[in-house]
A = this chain, B = another copy of it.
Amino acid sequence: MTAARGRGRPRDPETDSAILRAALELFIERGVEGTSIEQIAKRAGVGKLTVYRRWSTKEDLIAQAVEQTVSADMVPTPGEVRDLAPQDIVERALKTAAETTASPAFRALVARMMGAAVSHPRLMAVYWKHHVLPRRELAAAMLRRAQQEGTVAADADLDVLIDMMAGAVTWRVLQPDPPDAAAMLGYLKSVYRQVGLYRDAD
| A positions within 8 Å CB-CB of B | 30-31, 33-34, 104, 107-108, 110-112, 114-119, 121, 124-125, 128, 153, 156-157, 160-161, 163-172, 174-176, 187, 190-191, 194
CB distance A176 to B111 under 8 Å?
A: no
Q: How far is the CA of A115 from the CA of B34 in the complex (A)?
A: 13
Q: Nearest residue in B to A186 (C-beta to C-beta)?
A: B157
The 5 lowest CB-CB distance pairs between A and B, nearest first, are A115-B115, A167-B167, A167-B171, A117-B174, A114-B114
In the assembled complex, which residues on chain B have CB atoms less than 8 Å from the CB atom of A114? Answer: 110-111, 114-115, 170-171, 174
Q: How far is the CA of A104 from the CA of B119 in the complex (A)?
A: 11
Q: How far is the CA of A48 from the CA of B87 in the complex (A)?
A: 58
CB distance B117 to A157 under 8 Å?
A: no
Minimal beta-carbon separation of A199 from chain B (angstroms): 13
Q: How far is the CA of A128 from the CA of B167 in the complex (A)?
A: 17
Q: How far is the CA of A162 from the CA of B114 in the complex (A)?
A: 19
Minimal beta-carbon separation of A157 from chain B (angstroms): 4
In the assembled complex, which residues on chain B have CB atoms less than 8 Å from the CB atom of A107? Answer: 117-118
Q: Given known contacts A124-B176, A160-B190, what 12 new A-B pairs fall within 8 Å (CB)?
A: A31-B33, A110-B118, A111-B118, A114-B174, A115-B115, A117-B174, A157-B194, A160-B187, A160-B191, A167-B167, A167-B172, A170-B171
In the assembled complex, which residues on chain B have CB atoms less than 8 Å from the CB atom of A111? Answer: 114-119
Q: How far is the CA of A168 from the CA of B161 in the complex (A)?
A: 8
Minimal beta-carbon separation of A182 from chain B (angstroms): 16
Minimal beta-carbon separation of A13 from chain B (angstroms): 30
In the assembled complex, which residues on chain B have CB atoms less than 8 Å from the CB atom of A191? Answer: 160, 164
In the assembled complex, which residues on chain B have CB atoms less than 8 Å from the CB atom of A166? Answer: 167, 171
CB distance B163 to A168 under 8 Å?
A: yes
